[in-house]
Chain A
Amino acid sequence: MKLGFSPEEEAFRDECASWLNDQMYGEFADIRGIYELTSKPGRRKEWEQQLAAHRWSCIGWPEQWGGRDATLAQQVIFAEEYARSGAPGRINHIGIELAGPTILAFGTEEQKARFLPDIAAGKTIWCQGYSEPGAGSDLANVRTKARQKDGAWVVEGQKIWTSLAHISDWIFVLARTEEGTKGPRGLTFLMMPMDQEGIEIRPIVQMNGDAEFNETFFTDATCPSDSIIGAPGEGWKIAMGLLAFERGVSTLGQQMGFRNELDCVIEAAKATGRAADPLIRQRIAKAEIGLRLMRYSALRMLSNTDHSAIEGAALTYKIQWATWRRDLGELAMDVQGLDGQVTEGEEYNWDVLTNLFLFSRADTIYGGTNQIQRNIIAERGLGLPREPRGDK
């Protein structure tokens, strides 16, 4: 068991930090410190391409596809230095962290050659079509249908909570391809170009006034026949494999964003004098402990190379960070007082702290609600009986 990094790894850290700082205090200073994914999409895409030009866009991927075959330690280091430099949220994180690894793991050689170089290069932005109005927590209940016609797949239906759909070039979709099937059987994993008549996007305005998510409608939309991953009917297996990638190294970068938010809360507490209140001090200490433990839980999860074991650290990670951030949002309001409930300007648009309070109510819902997380932990982690279905 070892926490420290080797001299070679520390040298790599210097290399990362130096390049990132050059960018963030130079050519890309205008997008430093932007963590939400909706503003300045043009510049953000240029940033993705700049990362790629210097082989920093997907360092964990094989060299053949634009990565560096980076070791786990190197990926940890890059994620930490990326966030420390104030580099912006990755608008292609779905392509880099979900679509790419899925194609790498389950795609054909032809598909790898067709899709991976453009993802690595920041040329194609991706979004994810999983949830539907009737398939939220019960994801396997998807009703979007795809049928084969004239050598292609024709897709009908609706997806929801499609973040970044409005700037994406490709979407991966879980659709029902076998009439009459229910649940996880009869689903197929399709990759579809967004730029077509059959796809319509409508933004969903959230409770914080922002619109990061969309509804995506498919009406006679087309998916080329060679753009499905795996065989028809294997969609659920692919989708579940993909969910496992969500627990990757990116969590460490996400934590650096949390670090920035907690620092804002601490600054506000000092400014308002609430930092002298013993109860607030206890809560800030708890927040600090929780955040630092996230790092060590993530390192435990990543250091565990025995992937056959369902590790407790991996199973509990989502509920841990989501609940932590929701608590931080409440603390953010308590340290601000009523000042946190008014904003300058004409728009319903909030600064970091109030936005954190409002947005963090989504954290305990998307990607599996806290309730579903507890079911998963109890059933897969503790071996307790599964919840009975009402439709069987």
Chain B
Amino acid sequence: MDFAFTDEQKMIADTAREFFRKHATSASTRKAMVDDGVDRPLWTSFCTELGLAGAVIPEEFGGAGLGMVELAIIAETAGSRVSAIPLLGQAMATGALMGGANDDQKQKWLGGIASGDTICAVASSEDASETDGKLTGTVTHVPHGAVADLLVVLGESRCWLVPLDGSGVTIERPVTMDQTRPLSTIVLDRAHCKPLGETHSAKDAAMRAGLIVLSAEALGGAQETLDRTVAYSQERVQFGRPIGSFQAYKHRLADMLVEIEQARSAVYWAACALDESDPTADFALYAAKSLCADTYFRCAGDMIQLHGGIGFTWEHDAHLFFKRARAVQSLLGTGEEYRERIAQIVLGDAA
């Protein structure tokens, strides 16, 4: 038992922090927001310079062979800069492939995912149906779906790999509130597809990776909103004092830290529990997703409030965090849904 980063994990955290601070700037994120939602220079150097697009892909398939704790470290750091990169789809697709694909499929796809050449999007669909190796159905709210090369569809009783460069694929790009991770609608009409052999383990592994990424990016984002607000509160002077010296202001910042510390415990408990196949892993994931998303949203909302008027402007970055936080709350299931799952574990079904 040692619930602290190892030296290697500390090194990854330090390297990642330095990398994102340098490459993921407000300007580069804003450029991505008006383009297709991907900060291309950042994504390229993330994949080549840092080499972490395939963090959790085993080394035999060209990845770094790291665990969920390391994935959480990376996602936390990326989240702290509201980075516009397709980390979520990459991690979920890796989970789906490792959990449910055969060796040929792994050989075919994992190398490109690890190098970042293949961008992945993953989404659930209730109505997708397969006939003669062709998939028909509509997949909505697909994160980074418009830039993806490979779509992984998590269906009710089947999961499929759908290359998006083939025929029968129509992609709609609605304007999305969080422009750092645009949501697409993908209409499949007899699109070429390959089913994954193990549906349940593919879905479970995809969801687990996705929940880790979202929880950790929420943690990183929440911490960043606090850090930036603390910095602002020491510069901004009103009534002849830095506003951070007023107790009403300080206490609100303190409350942010209280929540963030719990979120931090949740993320690394969940990541560690997954790496060790601990029986509490699912409980931890539900706790992490529901708590971290809510924490991020409250902190981002507080960031706007505590910045005053400037925090409401387009020019200031506060809205990037606020919109990302609101998206994280709804992606992959709401806080209420995950808390109800915990209630079922604790109480059984409602009478």
Contacts and interface: CB of A to CB of B under 8 A. Distances in A.
The answer to whether A and B assemble together is: yes
Interface of A: 1-5, 9, 72-73, 76, 266, 269-270, 273, 275-276, 278, 281-282, 284-286, 288-290, 292-293, 296-297, 299-300, 302-305, 312-313, 315-316, 319-320, 371, 373-375, 377-379, 381-385, 387
A303 B4 CA distance: 6
B257 A276 contact: no
Contacts of A72: 1
Given A278-B350, A299-B1, A316-B262, 9 more contacts: A1-B69, A266-B346, A281-B343, A292-B283, A296-B265, A303-B3, A316-B261, A382-B254, A384-B250
A9 B2 CA distance: 13
A381 B230 CA distance: 11
B350 A377 contact: no
Nearest to B272: A3
Contacts of A4: 1, 276, 278
B3 A290 contact: no
Q: Which one of B245, B291, B336 has the greatest number of beta carbons of chain A within 10 Å?
A: B245
A289 B2 contact: no
Given A2-B2, A276-B350, A299-B1, A293 B262 contact: yes
Contacts of A302: 3
B347 A293 contact: no
A5 B291 CA distance: 27
B227 to A, nearest CB: 9
Interface of B: 1-6, 9, 69, 226, 230, 233-234, 241-242, 244-245, 247, 250-251, 253-255, 257-258, 260-262, 264-266, 268-269, 271-273, 276, 278, 280, 283-284, 287, 290-291, 336, 339-340, 342-343, 346-347, 350-351
Contacts of B2: 1-2, 73, 303
Given A282-B339, A316-B258, A289 B276 contact: no
B258 A3 contact: no
Contact of A382 (B6, B242, B257, B346): B257
Contacts of B230: 382-384
B247 A382 contact: no
Contact of A1 (B3, B241, B346): B3
B312 to A, nearest CB: 23
Nearest to B269: A296
A377 B258 contact: yes
A374 B3 CA distance: 26
10 contacts: A3-B3, A273-B351, A276-B351, A281-B339, A285-B342, A293-B291, A312-B264, A382-B257, A383-B234, A384-B245
